[in-house]
Structure 1
C-alpha cells in the first residue's frame, strides 16, 4: 500500500509518523524540536518528513513552543531607499538568529500603522520593530509594550515609551550642514520635508510628529537664530510627500522672487526632485543653488554635479534595532536602551558660496 498521502492534501505529523514507523507524539517532538528522542528515531522522522515534503503548521508550532519564529516590522515608506536599506539590516540579523521577517508598509499613516500592528499581533509575531508615523499617537505601541511583547523603535524614538530605540544623531547633522551653508554666505536657506500639517504650513517644530525630522528642523532653526537670522520658520516647507508634491513645492519656491540660494532636503527622494526641478527651470547647481540631502542614496554620487549629503548609518540602524530585539527575545531583561548612531557629512560638488 502506498504510504504517501494524496498530493492534494497537506502532509500532517501523523503522515510523517506513519512513514517513519513511530508514534505521532514522537514525530511531533522531532519536528517541533523539543523533548528527547534517540538519534535513530530522529533520523527516521527527518527522512520521512523530507520524503513527504512536510511543511510545519506554524500556528500549531507556535502554540506548542510559544514562539512563531517571526518578527514584525512596520515602516513608513518601503519605496524610500532609507527604509529599504534599514530593513535589509533587520532581515540580515533576523535570519542569522533564526527568525523570519514580516514587513508591512504604513504609508506614514498612523491608522494604517495601528492596523498593521493588530495584524502582526494576530499572526503571533515574537517581537516588533516599528518606525512610528506619529510620535504624538503612541497608545497602540504602549499597549504592545505593556503586553510584554518585545518592541524596538527604528529611527524615531519617544521619551514616552520605555522601549529599546535606535536613532541617528539628526540634530547635530542639521546643525553642521546649516553652519556650513551660513559660512558660505547663504542666508535664504530652505528646508523641505515630507511631514505635513493640517493647513500645509509650518509654524513651529512641535508641528512635526516625526522625531527624526523634528530634530533636524530644530537644529536648522537654532543655528539660524544664533547667526541672527529672524523668522526662518517661513523657509521650512512641509508636505513634500510625493514626487509630484515635491516638484510643485520646489518649482514654486525657485521661480519666486527672493528664491532660496540653498536647499536642505530632508530625504533623498525629496533631494532628487529638487535637483530635477532646478535643472528644469535652468538653475545651475551649485552656482545658482546649493543643495544638501539627507541620506546617501546611490543617485547622489553619480549626478552632475554629485550631491553633498548627510550620510546616515541606515543599514546599521536596522541591524542594531534587530540585535536589540533578538537580545530581548533571548531573555536579556535589562532596562530600555537608547542607541544614538553618528552621521557623517559627505562633501561633494553641490554646495558653493552664495550667489551675489
Structure 2
C-alpha cells in the first residue's frame, strides 16, 4: 500500500511540458516569463501548470535569468503608521510588476540596518529600498552601489550617494505648520522628535543625521527667526523615543519658566505620545496648549478635538519609490534625483488663537 504520508514529489518543468504537449524549452520560456511563444501555447502551459500545482524553483530561475524577482525594503520602524503605509505602496507597485517584497525593520539602529542590507544582498534581491537611520554613515550603502544592486532611498536624502531618493517636502511642510501656529498668535513654540540626542536638547541643527528631521527643524527655526522670536531652537526637543521618555520631554518643556503654548510633533507616533502625555497632565487641547502632528494617522481624526496634521501622502511616496526602483532594475536610463511628494496642512481643531 502507498504511504499517504510520504512527501509529494515536486512538479518539474518537464512534467508541465509533458502535460501541455510542448517541449521543455518552450515550457521553461512560458514559466520563466522570457522569450516569445504564441498565445495558444502560453495558455496550454499555464493551464497545465495550474492543473499540476506547479511551483517554480526560485533559485533555479534566478540562476538562469540573473534575477530573483525579489525587492528588499529596509524601513525605520514598521510600528510607525508612516512606514506601514509606505510598505503598502511599495508592495502594491512591486506586485503589479511581478516582484515579491521582503521587509526588514531597522528600528532606526545603524547596526540593524547594516545587518538587514547584508542579509537581503545575500538573498540576491534585484534591488533595495532603504530608509537610512543615519545619513552621515553610509559605507554599507556605498557597498550596495559597488555591488551593482539598484538602490532607492526612502524618506531620507543623501545627495553624495548619487542615487534616487523619494521624500516629502519636509522643510516646506514644517514651514507651513509652524507658520500656521505663529499666525494664530503663538510666540513660544516647541518641536518634539524621537531622534535620540544627549540631554534631549538640540546643540547644532547641522549635526542632525536624519535628513528629514533636519529639514523639518530648519523649516521650524526659519519661521520663528522670520517672526523675530528669540532663541528659536530653545524649545526644540529630541529623545521622545517611547512613552516614558516623551512624558519626561513634555514635563520639562512645560516646567520651563516660559512654557510653550504650541507643539509640533515630528511624526504620528511622537504625536500620539505627546497627546497621551498632555492628557495625563490634565491639559486640554487646544485650550491649554495647541498641537500639530505630521501624518494623517487614524488616531488624529478621532480625538476631541481632531488634530491638525501635515498630510504626507505616504502611500503615494511608497508607490513612487517602488516604481523608481523597478525602472532601475529594468535598466531604464534615468538621472539620479530627489523626487519630492508635496504635503498639505489639514486644519482641524487643535490650534487655538492666542493673544490679541
TM-score by length of 1: 0.91
Q: Deviations over 1:22-70 (max 9, x none)?
A: 6655543443234466777656654443333221111110110111111
2:242–2:273: 8 Å Cα contact kept in structure 1? no
Q: Partners in 2 of 1:165 and 1:317 — Cα distance?
A: 10
In structure 2, the residue matched to 1:322 is: 322
Q: 1:78-112 CA deviation, whole Å, 9 max, x = no partner?
A: 11011111111111111111111111111111111
Q: Is residue 201–residue 237 contact of structure 1 (8 Å, CA) maintained in 2?
A: yes
Are the equivalent residues in 1 in contact too, given 2:235–2:253 (CA < 8 A)? no
Deviations 1:282-336 (A, max 9, x none): 2121121000101111211121011111111211111111111122222211211
Match in the other structure for 2:139? 139
Aligned length: 354
Q: Secondary structure at the match of 2:191?
A: strand
Per the alignment, in what secondary structure is the counterpart of residue 67 of structure 1?
A: coil
Report deviation, 1:277: 1.6
**Distance in 1 separating the partners of 2:215 and 2:265:** 14
Corresponding residue number in structure 1 for 2:341: 341
Map of 1:83 onto structure 2: 83
Distance of aligned partners of 1:182 and 1:30 in 2 relative to their CA distance in 1, 3 Å threshold: closer
Aligned residue number for residue 209 of structure 1? 209
**Could you tell me how far 1:8 is from its partner in structure 2?**
4.0
Indicate the SS of the match to 1:233: coil
Does the aligned pair in 1 maintain the 2:308–2:348 contact within 8 Å? Answer: yes
Q: What residue number does 1:298 align with?
A: 298
Q: 1:55 to 1:8 in 2, by over 3 A?
A: same
Distance 1:105 1:17, change over 3 A: same
Provide the aligned C-alpha RMSD in A.
2.5
1:125 aligns with 2:125: yes
Q: Map Cα deviations across residues 151-204 of structure 1 (whole Å, 9 max, x no partner).
A: 111111111111111111111121222222222222221111011124543211
- Name the structure 1 match of 2:162: 162
Please say if residues 197 and 208 of structure 1, whose CA atoms lie closer than 8 Å, have aligned partners that are also in contact.
Answer: no
Output aligned runs, 1:1-356, within 5 Å: 7-17=7-17, 24-25=24-25, 27-35=27-35, 45-354=45-354
TM, length-normalised to structure 2: 0.91
Contact preservation (8 Å) 1:287, 1:355: no
- Using the TM superposition, name which of 221-230 and 340-349 deviates more: 221-230
Distance in 2 between residues matched to 1:20 and 1:180, nearest whole Å: 67
What's the secondary structure of 1:232's corresponding residue? coil
- Unmatched 5+ stretches in structure 1: none
SS of 1:247 mapped into structure 2:
helix
SS of 2:222's equivalent in the other structure is: helix
SS at match of 1:212: helix
Structure-2 separation of matches of 1:236 and 1:23: 68
Distance in 2, matches of 1:307 and 1:40, equals: 57
Does the 8 Å contact 1:167/1:339 carry over to 2? yes
Q: Hey, what's the Cα distance between the residues in 1 that align with 2:42 and 2:231?
A: 73
- Gap runs ≥5 in structure 2: none
